Amino acid sequence: MKDNHLIEIDQLFMYFPVTAGVLQRRVADVKAVDGISFYIKKGETLGLVGESGCGKTTTGRCILQLYEGMKGTVRFEGVELTKLKKEQMRRMRRNMQLIFQDPFASLDPRMTAGQIIGEPLKVHGLARGKEYKEQVAELFRMVELEPYMADRYPHEFSGGQRQRIGIARALAVRPKFVVCDEPVSALDVSIQAQIIILLEKLRDELGLTYLFIAHDLSVVRNISDRVAVMYLGRIVEITMADEIYANPLHPYTIALLSAVPIPDPKVDRTRKRIILKGDVPSPIFPPPGCRFNPRCYMASDICKQKQPELRELTPGSEHWVSCHMVK
């Protein structure tokens, strides 16, 4: 493991069983994550982008060891998480937290904002008494809420404020690594920008490392250092953020970029548009060969037969792509 890598994932697989009948026999698998490997450097933000059902959320949760039955290795600061005992993992979780997509569903409606933010401090035994109160107030200020709001319940807050509560809760235990699972997609456009800026500020102040999950390449653009694009359980392209926007190579990445409209009709009309056919296929029966081939506008015969490997284009370029057609 390289020194500057905080997280390393190697050949990660996560299949969810599909059962049928009274005996609940396993008849098929949802291949949510199907053999992916990547690393995240310390202090870096990796954007993970893909459409619904591509396995991006599952990947984030696999890193946090929230599932049973996954295969592959996940290393955090050199420690292999898959081999840890339950109690060891519980202590390890302090270092890694999760911010959820839906700020309406992820906060307990019966707890006050102060209790929600303070709960992790209690669970991990980090503070009590006066110190506890001070820390909760500090967390409120950190996410730009007022400490006097601690006695309010989630329903008294707007969507953007609730997302701030979710962020404060994740940061309460002073983690090193945070999985941000679509933290802005449920919010209004003007509020999205506020939350992205807040997350950037907190990352720089606290030295956090993020895995930032989104379904839209424009959202991760500002915050990410590197970007990985997923399709049906596999990574199709991963490289530096500047590179992926300036020089996308995988046909799916190119299509995703062209699908994002630019809020200026003059510019937008001059862009080349690639409109993909059809929907994402079911991850229970992924197509043979390259998973993207039925929707791909560049596919040839080999794409239907052989699954392409993720390869680095020129050694040291850090631009990895999984496509037979890219030379």
Alpha carbon dihedral 181, 185, 187, 188, in 10-degree steps, equals 150
Of 4, 11, 158, 317, the residue at the interface with another protein (CB under 8 A) is 158
The structure tokens listed for 262 are 């630019």
Binding test (CB under 8 A) with another protein, winner from 2, 269, 272, 327? 269
Q: Which of 52, 109, 129, 146 binds another protein (CB under 8 A)?
A: 52
HEC states along 170-236?
A: HHCCCCCEEEEECCCCCCCHHHHHHHHHHHHHHHHHHCCEEEEEECCHHHHHCCCCEEEEEECCEEE
Q: Is 255 in the site for another protein (CB under 8 A)?
A: yes
26 binds another protein (CB under 8 A): no
- Piece of 12-20, 28-36, 175-183, 239-247 that binds another protein (CB under 8 A): 239-247
| Angstrom distance (rounded) from CA 171 to CA 304 | 46
> Which residues in 99-128 contact another protein (CB under 8 A)?
none
Return the residue of 98, 280, 299, 303 that touches another protein, per CB under 8 A. Answer: 280
Say if residues 132 and 213 touch (Cβ distance below 8 Å): no
Q: Using the CB atoms, write b or e for 200-219: b if 16+ within 10 Å.
A: eebbeeeebbbbbbbbebbb
Choices 124-132, 167-175, 250-258, 304-312 (CB under 8 A): range interacting with another protein:
250-258
Nearest to 236 by CA among 280, 197, 195: 280
Between 118 and 251, whose beta carbon lies closer to another protein? 251
Decide if residue 95 touches another protein (CB under 8 A).
Answer: no
Say whether residue 51 binds another protein (CB under 8 A): yes
**Residue matched to tokens 């933010």:** 117
Residue 265 engages another protein in binding (rule: CB under 8 A): yes
Task: Provide φ and ψ at 10, rounded to 5°.
Answer: -130, 125
The conformational region for residue 208 under phi > 0 = left, psi -120 to 50 = alpha, else beta, is beta
Least distance between another protein and beta carbon 164 (Å): 11
48 in contact with another protein (CB under 8 A): no
278 part of the interface to another protein, by CB under 8 A: yes
Helices 129-142 and 113-123, axial angle in degrees (round to 10): 120
- Answer yes or no whether residue 216 interacts with another protein by CB under 8 A: yes
Shortest distance, CB of residue 249 to another protein, whole angstroms? 16
Q: Report if residue 268 touches another protein, rule: CB under 8 A.
A: yes
Site membership for another protein, residue 193 (CB under 8 A): yes
Q: Does 298 bind another protein (CB under 8 A)?
A: no
Q: SS3 of 26, please?
A: strand
The helix (run of H) or strand (run of E) holding residue 239 is: strand 234-240
Q: Does 208 bind another protein (CB under 8 A)?
A: no
Considering only CA atoms, which of 94, 212, 113, 221 is closest in space to residue 161? 113
Contact 179, 95 (CB under 8 A): no
By CB under 8 A, residue 272 contacts another protein = no
Q: Residue 216's closest CA among 245, 251, 247, 178?
A: 245
Query: Judged by CB under 8 A, does residue 219 bind another protein?
Result: yes
* Shortest Å, Cβ 173 to another protein: 28
Q: Which stretch binds another protein (CB under 8 A): 72-80, 171-179, 193-201, 283-291?
A: 193-201
Assess 283 for contact with another protein (CB under 8 A): no
Give me the residues that bind another protein (CB under 8 A), please. 51-52, 158-161, 188-194, 196-197, 200, 215-219, 221-222, 241-242, 245, 255-269, 273, 275-276, 278-280
